[in-house]
Amino acid sequence: MFINTLKTGFLMFTLVFLFTFIGGLLGNRQGALIGLLIAAAMSFYSYWFSDKMVIKAYRGQPVTSASNPRLYKIVQRLAQNAELPMPKIYIIPERQPNAFATGRNPQNAAVACTQGLLEIMDDNELAGVLGHELGHIKHRDILISTIASTFAGAIANITRFLPYFSNSGDNRRKNNNIGLIMLVSILAPIAAMIIQMSISRKREFMADEAGAEFSGNPLYLRNALIKLENYSQAIPMENQNPATANMFIINPLANLGKFQDLFRTHPATEDRIRELEKMARQKNLL
């Protein structure tokens, strides 16, 4: 928990510094002040409202015990096993099977799963997946994960605003701005990837272990991951957002080919399956 708090603070500080620095390059003191104000507002908003922003971006529909008793009862049982408050539940209208958790703390958490996940998983597999997401909530990964997604998205979109500054000032100023725009255009996507990968892949293994514990059997999540890996490659996510890819239980984006190991936001699925099977053997379940 303490380490995640430090990571969250570091990400927010870096966001403020980045916007202030670029604002200063573009507009001296006035630009730095504008950048500082924008970054401060984004940091405040991402802390308090980024969970709602992510749910809204994926058109999440709230779930109650009446609207989907199957899903509600599974999450309720898992939350009791994990000794967590009951999170809010949402269904995402996507065919690709996937799920994520968000929120600033366990008292203000939410879990979301796609319609495709509900269609292909049996109750045990669904419990394994949702147990994994409750593991993120239990370990307080969800705030840093959500802020990192907001951060990555902000960096990736910086170049959209830079051209508005390139036509201001004298010729020397214009040339400097054009050079800066080109530099940031190259570095921004790389920076966004680094931010996503700064969230340790180890947290996925820890959430897998928690999911196995909360659901009662490591093989539930093992079987679910096998399905998720196969279906995620066959069914693309319609509403794709690379900035939030790190939040899902399995990367929702298209296969990156030979470069996928370099830019993974998740551990390799086969490694996760191997660890779950090791847990199952220790419990004499395999």
Give residue-wise pLDDT tens across range 172-209. Answer: 555 555 666 666 656 655 665 665 565 566 788 989 99
pLDDT for res 261:
52
Q: What is the rounded average pLDDT for all residues in the chain?
A: 79
On the question of pLDDT at 140 being above 60, the answer is: yes
Kind plus residue range of the DSSP H or E element containing 109: strand 109-114
Structure-token match 């239990």, residue found: 138
> Which positions ≥6 away from 255 have C-beta within 8 Å?
233
Asked if 252 contacts 261 with a C-beta cutoff of 8 angstroms, the reply is no
pLDDT for res 82:
96
pLDDT for res 220:
97
132 is in an annotated binding site: yes
Question: What totals of helices (H) and strands (E) does the chain contain, helices first?
Answer: 9, 4
266 is in an annotated binding site: no
The two tokens of residue 244 are 């939030």
pLDDT for res 14:
67
**DSSP bridge pairs for 113:** 91, 99
Q: Please tell me the distance from the alpha carbon of residue 125 to that of residue 127, in angstroms, as a whole number.
A: 5
Domains of the chain: 6-49+150-197 (no CATH), 58-141+201-282 (3.30.2010.10)
> Which positions ≥6 away from 69 have C-beta within 8 Å?
none
pLDDT for res 247:
84
Structure-token match 């999911």, residue found: 211
**DSSP bridge pairs for 153:** none
| Higher-scoring residue by pLDDT: 196, 285 | 285
53-98 tens-digit pLDDT: 889 989 999 999 999 999 999 999 999 999 999 999 999 999 999 9
| Higher-scoring residue by pLDDT: 168, 215 | 215
Q: Of 83, 133, 209, 213, which residue is the catalytic one?
A: 133
pLDDT for res 258:
47
From residue 145, give the alpha-carbon distance in Å to each of 77, 114, 141. 25, 19, 6
Asked if 249 contacts 129 with a C-beta cutoff of 8 angstroms, the reply is yes
pLDDT for res 3:
59
136 is in an annotated binding site: yes
Asked if 136 contacts 142 with a C-beta cutoff of 8 angstroms, the reply is yes
On the question of pLDDT at 268 being above 90, the answer is: no
* DSSP assignment of 41-103: HHHHHHHHHHHHHHHHHTT-EE--TTT-HHHHHHHHHHHHHHT-PPPEEEEE--SS--EEEEE
Tell me, yes or no, if 125 is annotated catalytic: no
**Residue 114 DSSP SS3:** strand
Asked if 239 contacts 217 with a C-beta cutoff of 8 angstroms, the reply is no
